[in-house]
């Protein structure tokens, strides 16, 4: 950029170790984890998250946290606060095919676990993480909009919209699916638009959810009913764009009827419903996860179809891998942002994230088969899988993060 930048003074002098751009769940987790490991960290975002209150209704945006994500949050001392505030454990998952009725069951007890995971409000997790930043020594640069980036041999320098600058040995881009920092770093993306939207709402059901996550694959896309702590279910209904618009325009009675049919009335007739919102579904993968002293993680690196509910867990696994990489480099006396150090993180996570993302994509394509012979083959495969306990355990371990 220009010489008009004014370097933001450092409290301890010298360069930051890490500047994290983006304070969503992945970015805030990265900033907190690295600060707790003794790195000098700043978090840059355009605004802080809104405060969370138990008096508010459950936010429409919820996430399913796998055991690997919970372990990471436990290590940072924030999980108990999240769990005790408002989280819903689920012990089982039932997935069935609308075309042939084939069903696969997953049960935590089969893996010797108490739960498969927890359904938690994204807002609650983010707000709890932000509350912990100050005590960990994270410097918050808010509001802070990155408009330029320069990389040098020993640091990267971020230009902010207010004319200030921030320098760090490593810059972490965690600024979302349309990451401006990724674009500034010259990193492209590939993938596809699914031409679908995810319709989200909370609903009451006649029958209890029984701490079970339910998912039905329909010709139009998957419908998930996720258990909430107050007995309701959060729905994520994947629909073609035009059908999503039609469903969103229905009055509450018509919507309840349509949702009941789509869910095969597995939990009985649908009762009260909240407002509905939707979001576009797309597959987007960064061509690379590293450029000089910049690395990507979370949605800035990968956006996947929600059918497997693994998007946020992939992002938190990025955080855990980056944390391990930087700590190992520091203990070995290496520059934490040396190219060969960051390549290790980038190679491992891009490979793992890409494999998962394309696997979810392939699963969606298989469930979209409509030709009767293919539907019959799909049903046979699902029934065989449901009867193969070792393979199901392997899938459960992978979804849990090992």
With b for 16 or more beta-carbon neighbours within 10 A and e for fewer, the 362-373 pattern comes to eebeebeeeeee
CATH architecture of 6-53+60-400: 3-Layer(bba) Sandwich (3.50)
Nearest residue to 96 (alpha-carbon basis) of 265, 234, 341: 265
Quote the percentage of the chain above a pLDDT of 70.
95
Q: Tell me how long the chain is.
A: 402
Retrieve residue 219's tokens: 């010709």
Give the H or E element holding residue 363: helix 339-367
Element (H, E) at 236: strand 233-240
* Whether the predicted pLDDT of 160 surpasses 90: yes
pLDDT surpassing 60 at residue 222: yes
User: 162 CB contacts (<8 Å, ≥6 apart)?
Assistant: 144, 145
pLDDT tens track for 315-327? 999 999 999 999 9
The mean pLDDT value of the chain amounts to 91
Mean pLDDT, rounded, for 85-111: 92
Q: Which tops the pLDDT comparison, 74 or 402?
A: 74
pLDDT digits (tens, 9 = 90+) for 275-300: 999 999 999 999 999 999 999 999 99
DSSP string, 83-134: HHHHEEEE-EEEEEETTT--EEEEEGGGGT-S-SEEEEEHHHHHHHHHHHHH
Token pair of 135, please?
């005590």
Give the CA distances from residue 123 to residues 50, 59, 272, 310, 335, in Å, rounded to whole numbers and listed in that order: 8, 7, 23, 17, 35
pLDDT in tens, 59-89: 999 999 999 999 999 999 999 999 999 999 9
Q: In the prediction, which pLDDT does 386 show?
A: 74
- Burial degree of 148 (CB within 10 A; 0-12, 13-18, 19+): middle
Measured distance CA(129)–CA(28) in Å, rounded = 6
Neighbours of 195 (CB within 10 A): 11
- What are the structure tokens assigned to 56, written together? 């508010």
| Position with higher pLDDT, 395 vs 258 | 258
- Amino acid 308: pLDDT: 63
E strand or H helix at 68, and its extent? helix 67-75
**Alpha helical stretches, state H, 150-240:** 180-184
What is the pLDDT at residue 3?
Answer: 34
Q: Is the pLDDT of residue 271 over 60?
A: yes
The whole-number pLDDT of residue 367 equals 79
- Termini Cα distance of the chain: 44
Which pLDDT score, from 0 to 100, does residue 382 have?
81
Backbone angles phi, psi at 211, to 5 degrees: 50, 40
Provide the phi-psi class of 213: left if phi over 0, else alpha when psi is between -120 and 50, else beta: beta
64 vs 117: CA distance, rounded Å: 7
**Residue 2: per-residue pLDDT:** 33
User: What are the DSSP E strand ranges found in 241-355?
Assistant: 270-273, 277-286, 290-291, 294-296, 302-303
Return the domain boundaries, the chain: 6-53+60-400
Quote the pLDDT of residue 229: 95
């Amino acid at each position: 950029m220009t010489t008009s930048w004014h370097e933001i003074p450092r409290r301890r002098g010298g360069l930051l170790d890490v500047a994290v751009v983006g304070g969503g769940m992945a970015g805030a987790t990265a900033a907190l984890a690295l600060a707790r490991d003794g790195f000098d960290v700043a978090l840059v975002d355009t605004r802080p998250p809104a405060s969370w209150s138990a008096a508010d209704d459950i936010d429409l945006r919820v996430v399913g946290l796998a055991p690997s994500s919970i372990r990471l949050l436990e290590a940072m001392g924030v999980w108990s606060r999240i769990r005790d505030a408002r989280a819903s454990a689920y012990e089982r998952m039932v997935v069935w095919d609308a075309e042939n009725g084939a069903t696969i069951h997953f049960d935590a007890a089969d893996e010797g676990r108490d739960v498969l995971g927890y359904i938690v409000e994204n807002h609650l997790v983010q707000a709890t993480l932000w509350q912990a930043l100050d005590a960990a020594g994270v410097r918050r640069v808010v509001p802070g909009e990155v408009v330029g980036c320069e990389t040098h041999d020993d640091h990267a320098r971020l230009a902010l919209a207010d004319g200030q600058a921030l320098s760090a040995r490593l810059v972490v881009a965690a600024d979302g699916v349309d990451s401006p920092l990724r674009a500034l770093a010259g990193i492209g993306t590939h993938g596809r638009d699914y031409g679908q939207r995810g319709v989200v709402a909370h609903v009451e059901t006649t029958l209890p959810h029984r701490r079970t996550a339910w998912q039905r694959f329909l010709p139009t896309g998957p419908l998930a009913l996720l258990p909430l702590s107050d007995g309701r279910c959060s729905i994520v209904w994947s629909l073609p764009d035009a059908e999503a618009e039609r469903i969103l325009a229905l009055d509450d009675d018509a919507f309840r009827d349509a949702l009941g049919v789509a869910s095969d009335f597995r939990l009985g007739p649908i009762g009260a419903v909240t407002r509905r919102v939707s979001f576009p579904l797309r597959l987007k993968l960064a061509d690379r996860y590293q450029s000089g002293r910049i690395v990507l993680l979370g949605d800035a690196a990968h956006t996947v179809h929600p059918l497997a509910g693994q998007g946020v867990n992939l992002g938190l696994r990025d955080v855990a891998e980056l944390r391990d990489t930087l700590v190992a480099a520091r203990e070995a006396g290496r520059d934490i942002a040396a190219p060969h150090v960051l390549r290790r993180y980038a190679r491992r996570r891009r490979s793992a994230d890409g494999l998962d993302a394309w696997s979810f994509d392939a699963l969606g394509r298989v469930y979209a088969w409509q030709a009767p012979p293919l539907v019959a083959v799909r049903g046979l495969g699902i029934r065989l899988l449901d009867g193969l306990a070792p393979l199901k355990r392997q899938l459960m371990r992978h979804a849990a993060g090992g």
